Amino acid sequence: MIDRQLRALGLQPRPPPLGRLGAVAPVPFVGLATILVALIVFTPVLIASGPSPLAVEGYLYVYRGTGSTLTDFEVAAYDQEVPYDWLNLSVGTGFVWDGRCPTSALNWTYLNETDALVANRLTGANPVVVNATAVYVQGGSRTVYAGELAFDLVGLNSSSESLVYAPCPWTPGVSSPGSWSVTLGTDPFPLVNYGSGGPP
């Protein structure tokens, strides 16, 4: 009705705004097309890239129940769902504990796992040195986590049983030396991120 009144006065009604591209591409159409193009272009990239290697870590966990004769050493990452390409957990024995990481020749037993979330080893030996390595590969990039610590059980089969530990020189980031009560447990020991290389 307003359009007829304007025409009767000799005026043209004003067309509704159509955006920069006018009648060819109205604003809602341009916005929807932009979103669709972004989804088509970026969705394959997001799916193909997967989780970032920066989110992957490596830890050495130690478990021992009160009165147990075995200590459980485990290399894994906290709350991780992406498997490592290769895990190694080696236990060395045959040395005398002096509160430090041993430098003498040891008797080693090795455990290697591929495409796994965790590797664990039970041992009744005391003292022991544990060497842990976790290798993660994604999209041609390789990240190596490694560490080596020596452990000695003190006060076996008593209420004051504790585990004394000492990191080896190439395992920085672990307070040295230390101990913890077997009944209370311990936080995991962080493995060192050596990037694409490996420990010295």
- Walk along the chain (200 residues) in steps of 10 and give the mean pLDDT of each run: 64 58 59 70 51 63 79 81 86 87 84 87 89 85 87 72 78 64 69 75
**Which residues in 117-147 are b (16+ Cβ under 10 Å) and which e?**
ebbebebebebbbbbbbbbbeeeeebbbbbb
Domain locations along the chain: 1-49, 53-193
pLDDT on residue 53? 44
Say if residues 54 and 195 touch (Cβ distance below 8 Å). no
- pLDDT at 28 (0 to 100): 64
How high is the pLDDT of residue 89?
92
Task: Please tell me the pTM assigned to this model.
Answer: 0.65
56 backbone φψ class: left, alpha, beta (φ>0; ψ -120 to 50): beta
pLDDT of residue 52: 44
pLDDT at 48: 41
CATH for 53-193 (2.20.28, 2.60.40, 2.40.50, 1.10.10): 2.60.40
- Can you give the pLDDT at residue 91? 92
Give the residue among 109, 115, 138, 120 at the shortest CA–CA distance from 76: 120
